[in-house]
Structure 1
Amino acid sequence: MALDRRAFLKGLAATVAAGAALPGLAEAATRAGEDPPLQGERRTFTVAGLHPAHDGLRVAQLSDLHVGPRTPPERIRAAIEAANAFRPDLVVLTGDYVCNQRREAGEVREALAGLEAPTVAVLGNHDYWTDPRAVARSLVRLGYDVLENENTTLTLRGEPFTVVGVGDLFTGNARPFAALRGARRGGSRIVLAHGPKTADLLKLSGEPLLCLSGHTHGGQINIPGVTRVLLSALAHEPYDRGLFHVGPVQLYVNRGVGNAAVRVRVNAAPEVTLATLRAA
């Protein structure tokens, strides 16, 4: 179900308000400032049907970079450098490259330049809200492939590897079955989807899939025992961060790099992920 901008901001604002009401959290937010340290996360996933040549394949994931006034440009540049430092076989970008201004779509081209491995992207809700065509155009001009409810096959380590890209669920653009069409069962593949709840639709296929997503920022202001409840109840996002098993689907929710709505992160450090794929 598509949700509008108001519902999204309402959920995030409720999280922020709850955080401000807790003793000591405002002080923690002030200490965190606008530039909390970027963290590299290393995760290993067992992938059904993975070709032996892809056992150990390294996939770097960046999400929610939010080029604009709420994200320090130095953090975005550090994220690009961290992704390259992983020496990945593939880089995937899982949406929300802008915040809410059309000019930011043009700024994406400079801010996100420099990824050295083959790079595949999907769009997020902020991209659709702002100017999806302009955002996609900036990514394509950087040499990055942009998928919307489709898939592409690359040659990695000498064998075909398929990346499935699903449109943004939050804005009503997700067509997961169209995206999977032609991506053969039993082959090496992963799914990219900005919205974590896309996994609820993907599980209906009955296929074992690995889906990499973002969108939640790990709560951005993460209050243990509170933020997850608020995200689920108000923003209808039960998958806040990390790994979930949704039927046969392995879902990984990246905390993202940038900020939205507010400039601060608490207990939700920005993240660049290295996903290592292993054969079942």
Structure 2
Amino acid sequence: MSSRFGRRSFLRGAALAGAAGAIGALPATAEAERPMPVPEHVTFDVPGLDPAHDGLKVAQLSDLHVGPRTPPEVIRAAIEEANAFHPDLVVLTGDYLCHNPREVLAMQEQLGGLVAPTVAVLGNHDVWTDPDGAADALRGHGYEVLENAWTTVRLRGAPLPIVGVGDRLTKHEDVARAVRGLPPAAAPLVLAHAPRSADTLRGLGRPLLCLSGHTHGGQINLPIITPLFLHLVVHEPYVRGRYRVGDVSLYVNRGIGMSGIRTRINSPPEVTLATLRSVERRAA
């Protein structure tokens, strides 16, 4: 996104186009009335993955946006859905806040309860609003927060390296710093709020799996209208689902909450379960 208001302009424009009847009545309109999370299951072949992590289950939540536009029951349902996966690991890929520093209190009240080890990065709304408060709220729940850094989490008896990249839109992305000291043979899981961080990660020339969010999956998906705004206003080529960016496998989560308008069309909230598979073990 080229500016702080890029996505907001896109959503407003798409909503106006829809109101004008560009595509007529959509059956997905019900999402605006009951935007409950939808479970999504994806599997990734990860070169160099420790054999102990073959079949590792990673739950992803993104763009929770606590505040007036995201009902607490939706956030609660998302957390319960993530726990229901019985994951080995939970990752949070940014934008817990909307616009008001007082929303940090809502983070403290609503974002607890994830039972698996949890690692998080911040998003653009967190940086704009209160990055220190957001990070402290996450740590208060026992979640680790990465900012252009990496850590290891021991899962199934083996360490999994996890890289957290700073938010690209707010110019906090520093991939070189994030991977500094990472063993060359490591097969890390990368968390980056902005999908376009994959373009920078591609330059590392090593196989990576990157989980991101930010786009809300377009939030309002209208044929012709949405792609046009994405191209002309948002400048975002990675909107939802899976992409291949060089050696980087990228997954863009549709997110849970809403920070602008209160409507989702053809883009329901998402809780992802990513299953990691060892390429070498499957080939053996």
If the length of structure 1 is used for normalisation, what is the TM-score? 0.95
Q: Distance in 1 between matches of 2:189 and 2:181?
A: 13
Instruction: Give, in angstroms, the shift of residue 29 of structure 1.
Output: 6.9
Matches within 5 A, 1:1-280: 3-23=2-22, 31-280=30-279
1:122–1:193 Cα contact (<8 Å) kept: yes
| Percent sequence identity over aligned pairs | 57
Q: Deviations over 1:232-276 (max 9, x none)?
A: 321111100000001111110000000121011000000000000
In the alignment, residue 8 of structure 1 is paired with which amino acid?
Answer: R
Tell me the distance in 1 between the aligned counterparts of 2:6 and 2:40: 30
User: Conserved in 1, the CA contact under 8 Å of 2:23 and 2:223?
Assistant: no
C-alpha contact 1:196 1:253 (8 A) present in aligned 2: yes
Tell me if structure 1 keeps the 8 A contact 2:32–2:265. no
Segment drifting more, 95-104 vs 10-19: 10-19
After superposition, the C-alpha distances for 1:162-199 in whole angstroms (9 at most, x for unaligned) are 11000000111100111111222322420000000000
CA contact (8 A) 2:242 2:251 kept: yes
Q: Is 1:66–1:98's contact at 8 Å kept on the other side of the alignment?
A: yes
Structure-2 separation of matches of 1:116 and 1:78? 14
Moved more, 125-134 or 21-30: 21-30
What is the CA-CA distance between 1:41 and the residue it aligns to? 0.3
In the TM superposition, residue 37 of structure 1 has moved relative to its aligned partner by 3.2
Is contact 2:187–2:207 with CA below 8 Å preserved after alignment?
Answer: no
Residue 110 of structure 1 and its aligned partner are, at CA, apart by 1.4
Tell me, in whole angstroms, the C-alpha distance in 1 between the residues paired with 2:5 and 2:162: 32
Q: Aligned with 1:5: secondary structure?
A: coil
Cα RMSD for the two superposed structures: 1.6
Larger mean CA deviation between 52-61 and 16-25 belongs to 16-25
* Cα distance in structure 2, aligned partners of 1:7 and 1:217: 13
CA shift, 1:7, in A, is 2.7
* Amino acid across the alignment from 2:245: V
2:282 alignment partner in structure 1:
none
1:125/1:170 contact within 8 Å kept = yes
- What is the Cα deviation at residue 207 of structure 1? 1.0
Alignment deviations for residues 108-161 of structure 1 (CA, whole Å, 9 cap, x no partner): 011110000000000001101100000000000100000000001111111110
State the SS of the aligned residue for 2:13: helix
Q: Counterpart of 1:199 in 2: which secondary structure?
A: helix
Please, which runs of 5 or more residues in structure 1 have no aligned partner? none
- Give the whole-Å Cα distance in 1 for the aligned partners of 2:179 and 2:211: 15
How many corresponding residue pairs? 279
Q: Is contact 2:23-2:222 (8 Å) kept?
A: no
The answer to whether the Cα contact below 8 Å between 2:51 and 2:278 also exists between their aligned partners in 1 is yes
